[in-house]
Chain A
Amino acid sequence: MTHLFEWLRKLLTPPKAFSWQTLILLSLFSCILSFFATDTVQNILATFGWIFLIWGVAWGTSEKPFYINDVCLSPWITGALVCVFIFGGWSDGRPSLSLIWWPSVSGVIATIPEFIEKGLKIRIPPLASRQKIIVLWTSHFLVSCWIQFYFVVQTWLNQYPSLLIDNVTPSAFVVKVGSQPPRSPRGALILNLMEPQLLTQLDNQPWSYIERWLLNQQQQIEDTRKLVQKELPQAEEDLWWRFDSKILSSQSGYNLQLLAFWQGPRSKEEVYVIEKLCQINQVDLEAENPASDPSTSIVGTFKCSPAGSIRWVNSNKSDLTP
């Protein structure tokens, strides 16, 4: 532990007044001061702290450059600091501008020495180094484009979350890396969210009310679905979900079949469908409660099983019996 402190102290003591160590110490000083300050002064002090830190690191790493296999890494460190300063942190979830611009900024920083000659004057770089500068800038900007493409794909997946269910193996552009927890497509989510709504509408209601409801079934389910979709965050892929419902009679009542068809980007020619089965059963309360009113004694119960997994069907087949 003391070794570490000794090494740090040796590294950071300035050999003369104007050197990179002073700058780093100045930036530390500004940071500490900014803790005790209020709004505007705090911002100014923090900015100065950053500027000193960047300047100090740039100077220090150019005097003692980091090399891995003959590739100089010091502009990348300075570039990272500049990007974090200008664009904020490396947060994922939204396109991280600082990560995207990091290679380009590092490339520019690596070529800054060509633009400055002795005495800190700005010059147009000599012929001999211009070719190197152009190749450096363009190759680093290309790496930035690649990183930006990654974030574009991420934006697409935010709008089309159901695509992750599907098989991305035939793709010539992307590959699925790592194992993820099994996800359910958005259609299954919507169907499952419709269940509590339908429950309040249909459970323990008089049978006559249920029969009237079932006459208008398509419209009722459509309205419920629209309500549910409004609650969820907007996603562009909703344009390709088609919902349907079917009533089938069973011996104790009716079976309500809710269907969600995915007709958007998919890996096969066929369409896939998710279905959710609900039972509406007739229950006679008169047996338990003989004194109750006959017209309301027959009620219906509503019970659903969770939405099933995806099933590929031929898109021409419109009749889907379970």
Chain B
Amino acid sequence: MLTPLFPVQTILFQFLFLLIAIAIEGYVLHWKLNLGRKNSIQYATSINLISTIVGWLIFFFIEGQLSPSLRAQMISYIFFDRFFNAPVSSFSSFIFSAGIAMFFAAFLIKYISLDILQFLLQNPTTNTNNPPQNQSRKNRLSKFRIYGSANQEISKATVVLLANAFSHSAMLALLIVRSL
């Protein structure tokens, strides 16, 4: 018996969010880390796809572990956009904390994937690669970047956090526009 409910909106929204996030994060990576336009877009694509996949895997795992009443609440939210038999305030605070948890989880996954990717693709941050063309940029942005390998790691984390913040804000803005 084929179910007549198709997750069309899920797929479309996720595709749209991925495109926007990849564009924004690619731009931020290129701007702050000077990775070259094509490279930074490719990095952004990979880390966003990886974090989305990890998110799905966590969702499938949690869905299997839920108690019937919690699963019913989740089904109610997914099918009808509301919770049932419950005070509204407790669940909106739940959604708020879930949003914050997702933001930080996404940041962590993206940072780790960026590290692994750079190792696999053997492309160190171009600070050490292209000194001549970045002289003026370095002087301007030196308060963001302190030379030395240890502090380059710090700046990469900040950049990923910034990129993540921008893309999630764009997604939040889209969600707010949608619910208007």
- Pairwise interchain contact B49-A163, C-beta atoms closer than 8 A: no
Q: Which A residues are CB-close (under 8 A) to B153?
A: none
Asked whether, in the complex, the Cβ of B72 is within 8 Å of the Cβ of A173, the reply is no
Q: What residue in chain A is nearest B43 (Cβ atoms)?
A: A131
Q: Does A245 contact B (CB under 8 A)?
A: no
Q: Is the interface of B mostly helix, strand, loop or mixed?
A: helix
- Whether B7 contacts A146 by the Cβ 8 Å rule is yes
Q: Which of A7-15, A175-183, A221-229 contacts B (4 or more CB under 8 A)?
A: A175-183
Which B residues from 30 to 56 make CB contacts under 8 A with A?
Answer: 42, 45-46, 49-50, 52-53, 56
**Which parts of B121-146 form the interface with A (CB within 8 Å)?**
121-122
Q: Could you tell me if B5 and A174 are in contact, using CB atoms closer than 8 angstroms? A: yes
Whether, in the assembled complex, B75 has its beta carbon less than 8 Å from a beta carbon of chain A, the answer is yes
Q: Does B13 contact A (CB under 8 A)?
A: yes
Chain A interface residue number, banded: 35 or more
What residues of A have a CB within 8 angstroms of the CB of B9 in the complex? Answer: 171-175
Give Cα A274–Cα B142 distance, bound, in whole angstroms.
71
- Which residues in A have their C-beta under 8 angstroms from that of B117? 134
Given contacts A131-B121, A172-B81, A265-B80, contact A138 B46 (CB under 8 A): yes
In the complex formed, the residue of B with least CB distance to A315 is B85
Cα–Cα distance between A263 and B76 once the two chains are bound (Å)? 11
**Per-position binary interface string of chain B over residues 14-30, scored 1 when its CB falls under 8 Å from any chain A CB and 0 otherwise:** 10000000000000000
Which of B3, B14, B81 interacts with A153 by CB under 8 Å?
B3
Contact B2 A135 (CB under 8 A): no
| Residue from A142, A176, A237 whose CB has the most chain B CB atoms within 10 Å | A142
- When A163-B75, A175-B9 are in contact, do A92 and B80 touch as well, CB less than 8 Å? no
Is A192 interfacial (CB 8 A cutoff)?
A: no
Once the chains bind, are B121 and A263 in contact (CB under 8 Å)? no
Number of A-B pairs, beta carbon distance below 8 Å: 131
Contact between chains at B7 and A174 (CB < 8 Å): yes
| Interface membership of A246, Cβ < 8 A | no
Flag if B81 contacts A236 (CB, 8 Å): no
B75 to chain A minimum Cβ distance, whole angstroms, is: 5
Chain A contact surface mostly: helix
Does B94 touch A at the CB level, under 8 Å?
Answer: no
Q: A265 to chain B: which residues have CB within 8 Å?
A: 72-73, 75-76, 79-80, 84
A264 CB within 8 Å of chain B: yes
In the complex the two chains form, is B56's CB within 8 Å of A240's CB?
A: no
B80 touches A154 (CB 8 A): no
Shortest distance between the CB of B99 and any CB in chain A (Å): 14
Shortest Cβ distance from A306 into chain B, in angstroms? Answer: 23
Q: Does the CB pair B7–A149 fall under 8 Å?
A: yes
For B96, what are the chain A residues with a Cβ–Cβ distance below 8 Å?
A: none
Q: Taking the nearest CB of chain B, how far is it from the CB of A190, in angstroms?
A: 19
For B130-172 the 0/1 string (1 means CB < 8 A from A) is: 0000000000000000000000000000000000000000000
* A residues apposed to B, CB below 8 Å: 92-93, 127, 130-131, 134-135, 138-139, 141-142, 145-146, 148-150, 152-154, 156-157, 160, 163-164, 166-168, 170-178, 180, 236-237, 239-240, 263-267
- Residue pairs across A and B with Cβ atoms less than 8 A apart, 25 shown, are A93-B1, A127-B122, A131-B42, A131-B46, A134-B46, A134-B120, A138-B50, A142-B49, A142-B53, A145-B56, A148-B56, A149-B7, A154-B5, A163-B79, A164-B4, A166-B80, A171-B80, A174-B5, A174-B6, A175-B6, A236-B68, A263-B85, A265-B79, A266-B84, A267-B79
Contacts A135-B46, A177-B6, A263-B84 known; list 15 others, CB within 8 Å: A93-B1, A127-B121, A130-B121, A131-B121, A148-B56, A149-B7, A149-B10, A160-B72, A160-B75, A170-B80, A173-B9, A174-B7, A174-B8, A176-B4, A264-B76
